[in-house]
Amino acid sequence: MKKTFVSFEQLKEIVKEYPTPFHLYDEMGIRENARRLKDAFSWNKGFKEYFAVKATPNPSILKVLKEEGCGADCSTYTELLLAEAVGFKGDDIMFSSNVTPEEDFIYARKLNSIINLDDITHIDFLEKAAGIPDVISCRFNPGGDFTIANAIMDTPQEAKYGFTREQLTEGFKKLIDKGVKHFGLHAFLASNTTSNEYYPVLAEILFKTAVELKEETGAHITFINFSGGIGIPYLPDQKPADIYEIGQGVKKAYDEILVSAGMEDVAIYTELGRFMLGPYGCLVSRAIHEKHIHKDYIGLDACAANLMRPAMYGSYHHITVMGKENETCDHMYDITGGLCENNDKFAIDRMLPKIDIGDLIVIHDTGAHGFSMGYNYNGKLRSAEILLKEDGSTELIRRAETPADYFATFDFSGQFKFQE
């Protein structure tokens, strides 16, 4: 059984101030998790977590992570602006993008961020747009299937990202000729895995590749970036990843491969989003309708515009009916939103306690790729974001949208009129 980080009594007070739906984040949980990650990799003196801004692009959340020593992983111009506004600068920013517009590279160079190139053609594109920096990283795509213990974890050959192995050698040589002095190597080969073996297996691939590249090109490789991929246990009986076991697995590969090759100065970087924030956010909603036809439905005041993962991927998110945590789950419901789309369902055939109109519903694990994937279909307005602070107080860190926000990009100066 999953437990909420906010109690029913706390939540009843919070909703008196903030109308549902809203995303709620747990500051204490976020900080404690960031410290665990840092401790698990403390054996590597250069270790740094570059939080994936795309997962939870809120300046207040980024500020908390910055205070815990994290950097920012950005992939767009707007994310660079957000990171800059929070105070990230220079090598506190990793710019990992693809199909990158010229203006994005220009701004990344202006901020002196570390640029992680996605394709060999981007070398000339970057040089023409903004010049080649002294430090640069390249993203590796080995192709084929990525397997752990004979189980296929993902299929890099189908991914649009990264250099081939042959292109890495060619690209490193080309970049050295253009004045690059220090290199990084990056790869993302599996998504949302709770396997403790993922990072250690990825480490072996990247460490061996780094040794080969040094031998082939003479490049000084100063960091290796594992990107993200460590997932969270969305299912209540799913075992979470053990970040300490993962850290020790990476250390073993580091000692056996890099230290043995005289590359003991290489820093380890990560770009975790889901692992950092996922369990420390939830979507708070209220039951506003019930419907009994061929199935039993409970309609919420939230919809897929607030959390699209179940509609888009069929993803499981645990649901708690607040105040009824200890009641028997003897009612089967589809939990739905109000979009004009039949896939607007947070749960299908879910066994829950009897839900009454007005009940507070908490949808778990929305701290990453929750609010950030929202949209305005059907004219639905994005919800507020609220931070539950360490002292138990709350802070509104993003207000809810209004109709004026929705219409702000239209020109009503002529024949059209809008009155809020």
How far apart are the C-alpha atoms of 330 and 322, rounded to whole Å? Answer: 16
Given a cut of 70, is residue 420 above it in pLDDT?
no
28: phi then psi, degrees, rounded to nearest 5: -60, -45
Q: Is 70 a catalytic residue?
A: no
Each domain of the chain, given as residue ranges in start order, spans: 27-277, 279-406
Answer yes or no: is pLDDT of 371 > 80. yes
Q: Does residue 411 have a pLDDT over 90?
A: no
Instruction: Pick the more confident residue, 257 or 190.
Output: 257
Which amino acid would we find at residue 294?
A: H
pLDDT surpassing 70 at residue 6:
yes
Sign, CA dihedral 329-332-336-341, equals positive
Domains 27-277 and 279-406 share a fold: no
List own/partner pairs for 6-15 with CB under 8 A and 24 or more apart.
6/282, 6/362, 6/388, 8/322, 8/323, 8/325, 8/360, 10/388, 10/392, 11/284, 11/322, 11/360, 11/362, 12/360, 14/284, 14/386, 14/388, 14/394, 15/284, 15/286, 15/360
- What is this structure's pTM? 0.95
* Structural class in CATH, domain 279-406: mainly beta
Residue 337: pLDDT over 90 = yes
CA torsion through residues 247, 253, 256, 258, sign: negative
Mean pLDDT of the chain: 95
Residue 165: exposure state from Cβ atoms within 10 A (0-12, 13-18, ≥19): middle
pLDDT the model gives residue 149 = 65
d(CA 133, CA 181): 9
Q: What confidence score (pLDDT) does residue 61 get?
A: 98
Would you mind telling me the total number of residues written for the chain in this entry? 420
- Give the confidence band of 301 by pLDDT, cuts at 50, 70, 90: very high
CA 58 to mean position of chain CA atoms: 12
Query: What would the two tokens of residue 154 be?
Result: 């993902």
Chain centroid, CA 276 distance in Å: 8
Residues 187-213 have pLDDT tens digits of 999 889 999 999 999 999 999 999 999
Q: Which CATH number fits domain 27-277: 3.30.390.30, 3.20.20.10, 3.30.70.380, 3.20.20.120?
A: 3.20.20.10
CB 152 within 8 A of CB 166: no
Percent of the chain with pLDDT over 90: 91
